[in-house]
Amino acid sequence: MKKRYMSIWFPTLLTDWIRIKRPALKALPLVFSDKEGNRMVITATSNEASGQGIQNGMPLADARAILPELEVIENQLHRAPKILRALGAWCIRYSPLVGIEQSDGLILDISGCAHLWGGEREYLREIVNRLRSSGYYVRAAIADTMGTAWAISRYGRISPIIKTGEEVNALLPLPPMALRLDQQVSQKLIKLGLSTVGSFITMPRSALRRRIGNQAMERIEQAVGQKEESFVPIQVPEPYSERLASMEPIRTRKGIELAIEKLLSELCKKLNKDGMGLRIATLQSFRVDGKILRSEIGTNSPSANVQHLFKLFELKIDQIEPKMGIELFTMEAEKVEELNPIQEAIWQSLQSMQDRQVSELLDRIAGKVGTAAIQRFLPQPYHWPERSIIKVASLKDPLPLPWRTDRLRPVQLLKVPEHIQVTAPIPDYPPMVFRYQGLTHQIKKADGPERIEREWWLDEGEHRDYYQVEDEHGKRYWLFRSGHYSSEKTSGWFIHGFFA
């Protein structure tokens, strides 16, 4: 497929950025300076300053001599890549493939994107206007090759859109620097009197190669489209991702719902074709004011069921604040796993149907209140009551050992045993009376003791002697004495549970 690239150049990236942040600096001559060796050197210049003859690479002292009222921002050069990255992320609304070009530009692979905005001219105007209105001075150009787009955005004078096959013609009047050549090489060419691309591009390749070297030749070939060139996108698109741009910014819940439904049905179609189901999906909503809202859902088992996934996203819609409106939605399946759709269709067995319905239900609950709320318990080979069960997250974990039935356990178990006051006749006898929460319970019947030793290899402390007791009203309790009975100290009695 024929590729189209768009290059965006931010000639005054840093100064524009600081002016957006600090509007007071507007219209003042402004430079950024950074340490280079032992001196401060100018690294970025605003238009006002460069109009006075201040250039990048000039020592700060010289610039101050030219323009004493110069505003200087020190040591902020490291910000440039971050700002570019953020601008690049913003540009993803125009094309999924956005890369960073050197220190002051972005490159977009716009193949098949521009028609959505009504053509390349409108597309380019939209991007440039949006960036300029937000405060960044930009120049942009569209061409078949990255090299030509770069050249036209920096040095072009006539039209920013270069039609297919017109690359060479467009490059002819430009200076050699426009071909992204080394400074040394381009200066050499100018010195030789070859001040435009047109003056040397028609020379025999072998002669030219001898004089300017392989690297420069490669640049020329890339610019005219004789050699492929690629870039690293700042966000590698997921194999399972969908995007939906809206003509008008979306502000209503219904609109967001429709967008999610459409994205999901496209995504699930793809997933179904490959026999995959998603485990984690992310919805990104690009707001008009430049903010990107992320909402993520997870499922317990791979799913490509639109209705189910939609229900999960439905719970997240409340968190999406459209404010001025949302102009683009993207949906990515970040984690996919294999699904067995054919098998499911043939063997629509009762069990698997039930499992699916239940796991979809749990997905919904987990989506709203978090996975921690869902608990399933399996027995553990310990006698200590608190340790005798273990919480598991999965529905499928098999029973590691059978549930014990030889000992009766209370239906309601206090998380932490509570202290009680008792009257016990003689050691190792159940108490006669106990007080719990201000009420006195006369014990009529009792079973015990059942001694449970602490598992010393796990933790330290006293053993417990458990008694099942029944009071005069027939209420049944689980009490225990901590440790041995001794005459020196009063032993601690606790209530731990309530029997049915």
Partner 1 sequence: MAESKQVIIDRLQQQILKIQGFKSGSQGQTIDFGLGGMTASFPNHIFPTAAIHEFLGTNLEDAAATGGFISALLAPLMRNGGPCLWISTSGKIFPPSLTPFGISPDRIIFIDLQKEKDVLWATEEALKCESLAAVITEIDEISFAQSRRLQLVIEKSRVTSFIIRKHAEKLSSTTAVARWKISSLPSEPVEGMPGLGFPRWAVELLKVKNGLTGRWTMEYSSGQFHPIQEEPEYIQETRKAV
- The residues that touch partner 1, with contacts defined as CB under 8 A, are 350-351, 353-355, 357-358, 360-362, 364-365, 368-369, 373-379, 385, 388-389, 395, 399, 403-405, 408-415, 444-447, 468-470, 472-477, 497-500
Closer residue to partner 1, CB minimum distance, 24 or 372: 372
- Work out how close the CB of 360 gets to partner 1 at its nearest, in angstroms, rounded to a whole number: 8
Q: In what order do the strands lie in the sheet with 97-101?
A: 97-101, 105-109, 5-9, 139-143
Which is it for the CA torsion 334, 339, 345, 349, positive or negative? negative
Compare residues 35 and 444 and give the one whose CB is closer to partner 1. 444
Cβ 416 to partner 1 shortest distance, Å: 11
Alpha-carbon torsion angle 70, 71, 72, 76, nearest 10: -140
Report the residue number, 64 or 364, with the smaller CB distance to partner 1.
364
CB half-sphere exposure, 268, CA atoms < 13 A = 16
| Angle formed by the axes of helices 205-212 and 214-224, nearest 10° | 130
Alpha-carbon span 198 to 169, nearest angstrom: 8
Beta carbon of residue 433, minimum distance to partner 1 (angstroms, whole number):
16
Exposure class string for 6-31: b at 16+ Cβ within 10 A, else e: bbbbbbbbbbbbbbeeeeebeeebbb
Report the residue count for the chain. 500
Tell the smallest beta-carbon distance from residue 343 to partner 1 (Å): 19
**Secondary structure (H, E, C), 42-62:** EEEECHHHHHCCCCCCCEHHH
Which is nearer to partner 1, 187 or 357 (by Cβ)? 357
Query: CB-wise, 65 or 395, nearer to partner 1?
Result: 395
Smallest gap from Cβ 127 to partner 1, in A, equals 44
202 - beta bridge partners?
none
Shorter beta-carbon distance to partner 1: residue 255 or 379: 379
User: Which of 34, 33, 36, 66 has its CA nearest to residue 49?
Assistant: 66
| Phi, psi for 405 (deg, rounded to 5) | -125, 0
C-beta of 293: minimal distance to partner 1 in Å?
24
Q: What residue type is 467 in one-letter code?
A: Y
| CB of 351 vs partner 1, minimal distance in Å | 7
For the bound state, the minimum distance from the C-beta of residue 305 to partner 1, rounded and expressed in Å, comes to 14
- Of 86 and 374, which CB lies nearer to partner 1 in the complex structure? 374
Q: How far is the CB of 141 from partner 1 (least distance, A)?
A: 54
Q: Which residues are CB-neighbours of 312 under 8 A, at least 6 positions away? A: 297, 299, 363, 364, 367
Least CB distance from residue 262 to partner 1, whole Å? Answer: 25
Task: Closer to partner 1 by CB, 110 or 443: give it.
Answer: 443
Residue placing its CB nearer to partner 1 in the complex, 65 or 358? 358
Q: How far is the CB of 21 from partner 1 (least distance, A)?
A: 41
Q: What is the spatial distance between Cα 124 and Cα 141, in angstroms, rounded to a whole number?
A: 8
Shortest distance, position 492 Cβ to partner 1, whole Å: 21
Answer whether 244's CB lies under 8 Å from 262's CB.
yes
Pairing of strands 30-36, 71-74: parallel
Sheet holding 276-287, edge to edge: 241-250, 326-338, 276-287, 292-303
490: DSSP letter? P
* Residue 101: half-sphere exposure toward Cβ, Cα within 13 Å: 26
Q: Shortest CA distance to 63 belongs to which of 37, 42, 89?
A: 42
* Distance between CA atoms of residues 164 and 3, nearest Å: 10
Phi, psi of 444, deg, nearest 5: -100, -45
CB of 476 to partner 1, least distance (A): 6
Indicate the residue among 169 and 375 with the shorter CB distance to partner 1.
375
Inter-axis angle of helices 13-21 and 79-91, nearest 10:
80
Q: Which is nearer to partner 1, 89 or 361 (CB)?
A: 361
Minimum CB distance to partner 1 smaller for 248 or for 318: 318
**Of 238 and 355, which CB lies nearer to partner 1 in the complex structure?**
355
